[in-house]
Amino acid sequence: MSMTWHWRPRFSLEPTTALHDGRLMNSLVFPLVLLVSAWLPAARADALEPFVATYQAYNEGKLAGNATMRLVHNTDPQWRVDLGIHGNRGFAGILALNIEQSTVFDAAADHYRPLTQSTVRKALMFFGKKTVGVYDWSSRTARWRGDLKKDRTQAVPLQDGDMSGLLINLAVIRDAVPGKQLQYRFVDGGRVRDHLYQVAEQTENIKIGELSYEAMRVSRTNGGNDETILWVASGVPTPVRILQRTDGHDAVDLRLIEYQGTQNP
């Protein structure tokens, strides 16, 4: 039976739309250890460090592709975070589904300020779609152009602390502490949404294949029927697992299998 990818770039971590375009849907190497020690908040590195992370991508519980998340340091204070998801199994593989997202941003004083954001969707059997957004902090507005609805091309007023979906990923890693509530304002793709997250009081053991992590569960609490859950482990610069659920059922599920610290050229 064929699979339909219920892809919402909220790894990004926010759903963009209820798209049904067949969504879904790898220097110095530090292979993930078989057992990550218990969460120690003091052990977290608050400063950004370049990395490349490789995930297995599942859809409705079935392996359907892979994903790569990458953080690159451009020139101080500018960084870029990318996420690419590639379908290579089942229906997603037949269609050669690919989604690429990227955000360029400034990082200063624990604030991630987006400058540009882009999303590209490609598939073998239909034309690609691309959107590009610019966050103009001098005018305090953001605007998107490309393959999106007309109402999403209107200027969006910006507030201090606004972030793209991909930046919310990094912010969750930075801010998660057991029992803490997190709040962010998502401004991406011509939309504005408040994101509220709850960090679990206790860590839990997460197994991915033969790997095991002691990780914090971070759950979005105001997404309605669309749930987003992240698991964050000490010393790992990216979520060890990102799960999207729709109407109580697992949809897209990214599971970390390796990450690499990188050095800029």
**pLDDT tens per residue, range 108-149:** 878 999 999 999 988 766 667 899 999 999 999 999 999 999
pTM of this structure: 0.80
Structure-block tokens of residue 76: 């101080």
pLDDT for 62: 86
Determine the pLDDT at residue 44.
45
Mean pLDDT over 145-159 rounds to: 95
For 47-105, the pLDDT digits (tens) are 899 999 999 999 888 888 999 999 999 988 999 999 999 987 655 544 557 889 999 99
Among 36-40, 44-48, 159-163, the range of highest mean pLDDT: 159-163
Q: CA separation (Å) from 62 to 4, 94, 239, 246, 254? A: 11, 15, 20, 16, 11
Q: Tens of pLDDT along 242-257?
A: 999 988 888 889 999 9
Taking only the tens place, the pLDDT of each residue in 175-225 is 999 999 999 999 999 999 999 999 999 999 999 878 889 999 999 999 888
Return the pLDDT at 146.
94
Question: Which residue type occupies 129?
Answer: K
- Report percent pLDDT > 90 for the chain: 60
Cα–Cα distances in angstroms (integers) from residue 190 to residues 16, 131, 167, 195, in the given order: 9, 10, 16, 16
The whole-chain average pLDDT of the chain stands at 81
Contact between residue 183 and residue 194 where contact means Cβ atoms under 8 Å apart: yes
18 band by pLDDT with thresholds 50, 70 and 90: very low
28-261 has which CATH code? Answer: 2.50.20
Instruction: Give 45's pLDDT tier (boundaries 50, 70, 90).
Output: very low
* Beta pairing, strands 204-208 & 211-220: antiparallel
pLDDT at res. 162: 98
Indicate the burial class of 236 (C-beta count within 10 angstroms; 0-12, 13-18, 19 or more): buried
pLDDT of residue 89: 65
The candidate with the shortest Cα–Cα distance to 83, out of 101, 65, 56, 57, is: 101
Q: What is the pLDDT of residue 60?
A: 84
According to the model, what pLDDT value does residue 7 have?
41
Q: 3-state SS of the chain?
A: CCCCCCCCCECCECCCCCCCCCCCCCCEEECCCCECCCCCHHHCCCCCCCEEEEEEEEECCEEEEEEEEEEEECCCCEEEEEEEEEECCHHHHHHCCEEEEEEEEEEECCEEEEEEEEEEEEECCEEEEEEEEEEECCCCEEEEEECCCHHHHCCEECCCCCECHHHHHHHHHHHCCCCCEEEEEEEECCEEEEEEEEECCCCEEEEECCEEEEEEEEEECCCCCEEEEEEEECCCCCCCEEEEEECCEEEEEEEEEEEEECCCC
Question: pLDDT at position 88, please?
Answer: 74
The pLDDT value recorded for residue 29 is 28
Domain layout of the chain by residue ranges: 28-261
pLDDT given for residue 125 in this prediction? 60
